[in-house]
Homo-oligomer: A and B are copies of this chain.
Amino acid sequence: MDDKLAGMEHSEAHYFNSYNHHGIHEEMLKDEVRTKSYRDAIYQNRHLFKDKVVLDVGCGTSILSMFAVKAGAKHVIGVDMSSIIEKAREIVEVNGMSDKITLLQGKMEEVQLPFPKVDIIISEWMGYFLLYESMLDTVLYARDKYLVPNGLIFPDKATLFLAGIEDGEYKEEKIGFWDNVYGFDYTPLKQTALTEPLVDTVELKAVVTDPTPILTLDLYTVQPSDLAFSSTFALNVRREDFVHALIAWFDIDFTACHKPIRFSTGPHSKYTHWKQTVFYIQDVLTVEAGDKITGLLENKPNSKNKRDLDIKISYEFEPADPTRKAGGSYEYKM
């Protein structure tokens, strides 16, 4: 067990430790949608990487740094807070790239880079719901302090989407479960379950509305303050069904590539470790094709812990048939 976990509650530490120490890195590396998109974006653009100084923000096991070296970078600097960087050094060594990659353990705000400026920033900073526990703030700090004018960022665009889903069976399992637990009333935990977005895979056939974008980030211009945002939405219902939850996912673009590369973490795409994020609503909406669900999604970093998110979703559902009208406002924490 990692010393850093020593202060955790028993059951939580137990649960966490059911995974091996490098489980997160194994999961990310084995996420081929993620890793191959970065690989392709780098390998297919050697003309951009050749002889350049590259900064890898949150380098982990250094896979992106090694991709950049293979693509011709003059030097790559990898920065990560985690002790995984010790393993990254061993990996870089056995791959004969120690003279090409400098790995620094620490906060981006505190480490001393061996170059005053960098030509390209590469980073896999995205968290669940794009922004949960994300390292985007660190990437923006690095951009503002180290990136040369007209320098490149890989990736440089992120788009967050919203849609409505039918999810009666699983909602019952995750939310309804607490109504009767071996004969006891566990509704105090039902409230918690309703306010915690669920990270899980959603089948495409569960999607009842058209998706709609609610946030687009241009990494060259976005400011940390933009990560608190409000977005109105209007979801067009595609078919007669029920809506139990709204879901969110994101797409990532590498627009600097000769041939643009994009990947999606949506329900229409191949599995990624980001899955989708499910926000259950207390109502069940009875919807028909052509109906519209309109609303507002507000997101802001938690005041105590800026990598946590406070999300509020308000919606109105006003179909022609007044008996199906509904609306509500829910606060979620993740």
Contacts and interface: CB of A to CB of B under 8 A. Distances in A.
A91 B184 contact: yes
A193 B87 CA distance: 12
| Copies of this subunit | 2
Given A10-B81, A11-B25, A135-B10, A61 B186 contact: yes
A254 to B, nearest CB: 17
A20 B192 contact: yes
B18 A16 contact: no
Contact of A305 (B6, B39, B183, B193): B6
Nearest to A18: B199
A7 B9 contact: no
Contacts of A228: none
A127 B14 contact: yes
Interface string A60-90: 1101001100100000000001111001001
Interface residues of A, number: 74
Given A1-B302, A14-B24, A94-B187, 20 more contacts: A1-B305, A2-B9, A4-B7, A4-B9, A5-B12, A10-B81, A10-B82, A11-B82, A11-B84, A15-B16, A17-B133, A26-B189, A30-B177, A36-B182, A66-B184, A70-B183, A90-B188, A91-B184, A91-B185, A94-B188
Interface centre among A11, A132, A198 (most CB of B within 10 A): A11
A316 interface: no
A175 B52 CA distance: 35
A23 B15 contact: yes
A3 B81 CA distance: 19
Contact of A12 (B4, B95, B177): B4
Nearest to A138: B10
B81 A9 contact: yes
Interface in A11-58: 11-27, 29-30, 35-36, 39, 58
A320 interface: no
Contacts of A6: 305
B14 A182 contact: no
A196 interface: yes
Interface in A284-327: 302, 304-305, 307-308
Contacts of A132: 17
